[in-house]
């Protein structure tokens, strides 16, 4: 019994004596980090690549038919975390080279569809207005903060491409020639400076 009492006393003494550094509370630091990012992706229910061609005439004496030479199968998805409150991102678009003489490629970017979260910005175009694409960057979405559109077809901004005849005074119908040309359309998400550029 004396041995058991000595063991219990030793155990109680060990737990009852604290080191000089121990207190009723203690603390440590945890570093929490969120990195800035800006990602853009083109989504489709099918192939990302497509062809646009006016219909050839079916009757002698008619011209090329540019009616409804459109494609609305692609969707612009994006994610963004900005560096500070008030900072914004934008999305620009451009084509790799000019279209054949007599033709123009136009783009309509719809307002973002529901399904995302945060500050996903807005289309720079008024509803139904087209931008004629060129080799110079054109802004198509602006005022993107920290947010995301959702991933996949039906999320983000629907893209509608239209092939039209260039009706400017310097281009005549006789300038149009047969052939095919591959054009790359590039979307870039980048920092937006200033009030809405």
Instruction: Report if pTM > 0.85.
Output: no
Q: How confident is the model over 59-82, as a mean pLDDT?
A: 94
**Model pLDDT, residue 173:** 86
pLDDT above 70 for 128: no
**Model pLDDT, residue 114:** 85
Task: Classify the C-alpha dihedral 12-13-18-23 as positive or negative.
Answer: positive
**Model pLDDT, residue 18:** 54
Spell out a b/e string for 145-161, using b for 16 or more CB atoms within 10 Å of the CB, else e: bbbbbbbeeebbbbbbb
pLDDT above 80 for 4: no
Is residue 40 within 8 Å of residue 188, measured between CB atoms? yes
**Model pLDDT, residue 5:** 54
């Amino acid at each position: 019994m004396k041995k058991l009492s000595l063991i219990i006393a030793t155990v109680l003494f060990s737990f009852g004596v604290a080191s000089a550094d121990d207190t009723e509370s203690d603390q440590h630091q945890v570093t929490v980090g969120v990195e800035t990012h800006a990602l853009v992706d083109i989504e489709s229910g099918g192939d990302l690549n497509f062809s646009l061609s006016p219909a050839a005439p079916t009757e002698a004496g008619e011209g090329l038919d540019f009616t409804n030479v459109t494609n609305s199968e692609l969707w612009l998805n994006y994610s963004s975390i900005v560096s500070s409150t008030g900072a914004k991102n934008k999305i620009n678009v451009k084509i790799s080279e000019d279209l054949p003489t007599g033709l123009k490629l136009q783009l309509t970017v719809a307002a973002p569809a529901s399904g995302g979260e945060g500050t996903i910005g807005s289309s720079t175009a008024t509803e139904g207005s087209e931008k004629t694409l060129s080799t110079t960057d054109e802004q198509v979405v602006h005022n993107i903060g920290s947010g995301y559109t959702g991933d996949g077809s039906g999320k983000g901004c629907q893209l509608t491409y239209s092939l039209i005849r260039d009706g400017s005074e310097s281009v005549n119908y006789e300038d149009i020639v047969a052939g095919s040309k591959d054009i790359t359309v590039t979307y870039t998400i980048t920092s937006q400076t200033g009030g809405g550029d």
